[in-house]
Amino acid sequence: MKKLIVKIEKLDHFGRGIARINNIPIFIENCLVNEEVEIFITKEKKNFMEGKVIKYIKKSPLRVESLCPYYDSCGGCDLLHLSYDEQLKYKENKVKEIIKKFCGLNCVKDIVGSKQFNYRNKITLQVNNNIGYFKKKSNDIIAIDKCLLVDNRINKIIHDLKHLDIRNVNKIVIRVTSFESMVVFYGNVNLNFDLNVDTIIVNNKVIKGNGYIKEDINGFKFVISSTSFFQVNNIGMINIYDKVLEYVDGGNVLDLYCGTGTIGIYVSKKSNKVLGIELNKEAISDALINKKINDINNIDFISGDVGSVLSQNNFKADIIIVDPPRAGLDNKSINNIIKINPKKIIYVSCDPVTLARDLNLLKDKYEVVEITPFDMFGNTYHVECVSLLSLKS
């Protein structure tokens, strides 16, 4: 086993420390800048290596003790060894660095923080003999009794599940809102027990409750079905939606990748008309219910792939809001957005690298006015951004 002593130069975009030997970078988890560590090499390639810490020779004053007993092996968190304030600084600098490097822009604002622990309203648990999370870079499961990131009602449900016979279950999704809870079991399941939750679903079949749960976000009501996307951190979601709302100033709005219609409904009072487009049919059914229960008359929804729906129609819009998955926008969608020629584009992104790529494709025609990073996923390397783009005159 090859052992080395190295000094950490900086953190990479995945929260790993970077050290160098003969100018070859070594990526090492659970390390901070200026720390000296003894490591062994776990992977050796021509252009990079990966290492694991054996011993901390000099620790950073920024290091905090991780409160999670599973941190070393669980694949969930990356930054539990850094205080929350320092995590926010890291995320803000990361966005600044990416946007400067790939777009040559200096328009990134201060990050808006959220909550470090107990913020998640949803988790996916893997099941074999144990209930838990995947280990880092593995399909092995690490059994957990509770998780520091999730709402404590989810931890209570995990505790209850541990006492039940779930032998043929492969995967369990737990979701909670301010009022309700839902558990979805996947696998060859024959449920012979009840659970103290509002809705139980087995694969696609509703066993208990309505098959959806309800949430209230700043006075708007939302129903959420089991396969519909819903932001996992309510505080982070409201921070992001408020920023989007700040940029909406009337006119016709396209809400692309609209999920259950949350953003479109949130901004509908400041808009003339809103049209939401979303691939997931179940999310669109939820969006139509959400329109009705909020008594909103100036919003409609279409189910389909954003690029295709835009190609097949001749929409006019003053503002286009996009909130795509991590992969960002595809070329068809970008070309269609450019063709529609809105005055503003509001880009909600969950990956600054694909955001930078897409901004480069839009920036001939649009000025990138400002980008605000938001923390939604404390203790992980992930960071969200809301960008405002304005049509050049």
Ligand X SMILES: C[S@@+](CC[C@H](N)C(=O)[O-])C[C@H]1O[C@@H](n2cnc3c(N)ncnc32)[C@H](O)[C@@H]1O
* Catalytic machinery residues: 350
Residue 204: which residues within 8 A CB-CB, separation 6 or more?
A: none
* Least distance from ligand X to the Cβ atom of residue 191, Å: 28
β-bridge partners, 24: 21
* Least distance from ligand X to the Cβ atom of residue 2, Å: 42
* Least distance from ligand X to the Cβ atom of residue 223, Å: 13
Q: Which residue's CB is nearer to ligand X, number 280 or number 372?
A: 280
Q: Which residue's CB is nearer to ligand X, number 16 or number 122?
A: 122
Residue with the shortest CB distance to ligand X:
259
Helix (H) or strand (E) holding 265: helix 262-267
Q: How far apart are CA 325 and CA 244, in angstroms?
A: 17
Q: Which residue's CB is nearer to ligand X, number 167 or number 326?
A: 326
* Least distance from ligand X to the Cβ atom of residue 307, Å: 6
Backbone angles phi, psi at 361, to 5 degrees: -80, -20
Q: Which residue's CB is nearer to ligand X, number 95 or number 148?
A: 95
Asked if residues 271 and 296 have their Cβ atoms less than 8 Å apart, the reply is no
The alpha carbons of the chain give a radius of gyration, in whole angstroms, of 23
* Least distance from ligand X to the Cβ atom of residue 311, Å: 12
Q: How far apart are CA 137 and CA 143, in angstroms?
A: 16
Q: How far apart are CA 27 and CA 281, in angstroms?
A: 41
Q: Which residue's CB is nearer to ligand X, number 156 or number 273?
A: 273
Q: Which residues bind ligand X (CB under 6 A)?
A: 229-231, 257-259, 262-263, 277-280, 283, 305-306, 323-325, 350
Residue among 137, 122, 212 at smallest CA distance from 171: 122
Q: Is 338 helix (H, G, I), strand (E, B) or coil?
A: helix
Asked if residues 255 and 277 have their Cβ atoms less than 8 Å apart, the reply is yes
Asked if residues 198 and 209 have their Cβ atoms less than 8 Å apart, the reply is yes
